[in-house]
Amino acid sequence: MTAPNGPLLIAGSIATDHLMTFGGRFADSLVADQLDKLSVSFLVDDLEVRRGGVAANMSFGLARLGLRPVLVGAVGEDFHDYRSWLERHGVDCDSVRVSEERHTARFVCTTDSSMAQFASFYPGAMSEARLIELAPIAARVGEPSYVLVGADDPDGMLRHTQECRQRGYAFIADCSQQLAFAEGDLIRDLIDGAAILFSNEYESHVIEKKTGWSADEVLAKVGFQVTTLGKDGVRVTDKDGFHLEIPAAKNVEAIEPTGVGDAFRSGFLAALQWGLSRERACQVGCVLAAYVVETVGTQEYTFTPAEFVARVRESYGDEAADEIGNHVK
């Protein structure tokens, strides 16, 4: 496979998670017949602020593998520290839109000792993703090899997809979290003509149910489909009968699964950028995903090139490790 020459544009959500822990139980402070007058507060024990958002997570993963992805999304003026973090790790943030009115999207959650939660999600500046045009970005960095359209403001996702079709940019459909809320017409618009369709196994069934397309009809609409299977690895299929299944990386000590799918996509796309086969792309993706599932937080993992290649060798053998090792930086 020939390596694409253009940059990767990664469009999607950029957000922070504010996670707090309450040592007691919410239920002890609630009076069943007074919930219509609810007004309570809880003294929390700690606060963790984690960087997230699917586009930022994927961009971070690509940068950890030595690429320089272009992050495309909308944030608030409070993005300064997060921007510095991403840029220090090699992500191009020059095309991120900064809202003059809204804060960066934020998930705020308090969990008590019984694992009950009070949570809120503020989309904030994410709603301005629909105002971002891809052509000026391509003029700055060069025509993209792929534009990944990840979960974001639905109108923004649709605009990016339509612009890719109009301008002839190869695009990747990765609807993920938006599948639960999107109607069939929107999902069909986001998928039709994609070079690659990413989903997990459950999402693949949601796509079929909501679009009314069979599995074969979905494959007929895209270049190929990549379906992650959790602990069972990944499957790649296309309309011409190509079928590949790769097991997950070996000896993984799972701690927290958030961001694992984003990491897999990062590794897969990095390998395609290197000109490697879909088999090698799956293997790079699975190894990068292993680092995330072994870490609390979506962008907290670290490794050296030698450590990464050693994990490839352990899971997929010498030939895979030697080939991938020529590219990991």
Q: So which residues are the catalytic ones?
A: 262
The H or E element spanning position 270 is: helix 260-273
On whether the CB atoms of residues 146 and 195 are closer than 8 A, the answer is yes
Q: What is the widest separation between alpha-carbon atoms in the chain?
A: 66
- Phi, then psi, of 257 in degrees rounded to 5: -85, -10
- What is the number of other CB atoms lying within 10 angstroms of the CB of residue 184? 13
The H or E element spanning position 196 is: strand 196-200
- What is the number of other CB atoms lying within 10 angstroms of the CB of residue 305? 14
- List C-alpha distances in Å: 81 to 51, 75, 85, 145, 262: 10, 12, 6, 29, 21
